Amino acid sequence: MLPFFADIIAPLLSALQSPAVVEIGSEHGKLTRKLCELVAPWEGRVHAIDPAPLFDADVWTKDLAPTLAVHRAKSLDALPAVDGFDVVLVDGDHNWFTVLSELRLVERLARERGAAHPLVLLHDVAWPYGRRDLYYEPESIPEQHRQSWARRGISPVSSELLPRGGLNAHLANATHEGGPRNGVLTAVEDYLKETQVEQTLTIVPAAFGLAILLPATLAAEKPAALELVRPWMSTAVQGFLEKMETARIAMLTQAG
């Protein structure tokens, strides 16, 4: 999600002066630290949720006090313990079941607390995980919601995983791309069919894809946020970014 910080995430958080930001999936904490530095001047708080962060959570929590709270747990266990959230960044376990469950839980918690529905940004809504599940821990996903999977690499020119090589060959990837209940974008679309919150979906088709779910009430209350999202809605911008992303992925995977 880091590539989106300067041009999308930071301007949006600054416009909203977001008091509470949740980051699902922190890994090395590169984005976490930037988020903390950004929100500290207005006394914002960053909740980093990751069952296995690759930074020293205790040291960082002290260094970045009182801004950072690290939750060493999976998103679905940790979210209820976060007392409030204005912006949620979703970049954890990239599969249909987890992402749909996260979106449902965020909506339910906000509603139960009588809080405004947050702005939600999700990474990996384009290739390779927009239409293909990835499992950090396949056995933790209920069997009926899990695709067949293998630790083999992905190619942009075939739905099937490659016998050798390919992208992310060390990860547990769904063996096929597409179809129902498969991938992060499919989860977002399925969520939008059932949500009770009016919101718009904008996709930035670059750097593996970013989805911006902007609630209508927030757009009405903070027109500056809508103005920051609007340029990314342009079909010309989207078409150009899609071409650049296809070329980048071809180079990345040496597919042609």
Chain residues 107-136 in contact with ligand SAM, contact rule CB under 6 A: 136
Instruction: Classify residue 4 by its DSSP letter.
Output: G
With CB under 6 A as the contact rule, the residue among 6, 17, 37, 52 that binds ligand SAM is 52
Q: Does 214 bind ligand SAM (CB under 6 A)?
A: no
User: Is the CB of 123 or the CB of 219 nearer to ligand SAM?
Assistant: 123
Any contact of residue 50 with ligand SAM (CB under 6 A)?
yes
Q: Does 99 bind ligand SAM (CB under 6 A)?
A: no
Is residue 93 part of the contact set for ligand SAM (CB under 6 A)?
yes
Would you call 205 helix, strand, or coil by DSSP?
Answer: coil
Among 18, 95, 98, 199, binds ligand SAM (CB under 6 A): 98
Two structure tokens written together for 143: 């069997």
Q: Binding of ligand SAM at residue 1 (CB under 6 A)?
A: yes
Residue 29 to residues 83, 156, 160, 191, 237, Cα–Cα distance (Å): 21, 29, 32, 28, 30
22-30, 103-111, 155-163, 194-202 -> range binding ligand SAM (CB under 6 A): 22-30
Q: How deeply is 200 buried, as exposed, middle or buried, from its count of CB atoms within 10 A (0-12, 13-18, 19+)?
A: middle
How many other C-beta atoms can be found within 10 angstroms of the C-beta atom of residue 13?
23
Q: Say if CB 84 and CB 20 are below 8 A apart.
A: yes
Binding site for ligand SAM (CB under 6 A): 1-2, 24-27, 30-31, 49-52, 74-75, 91-93, 98, 136
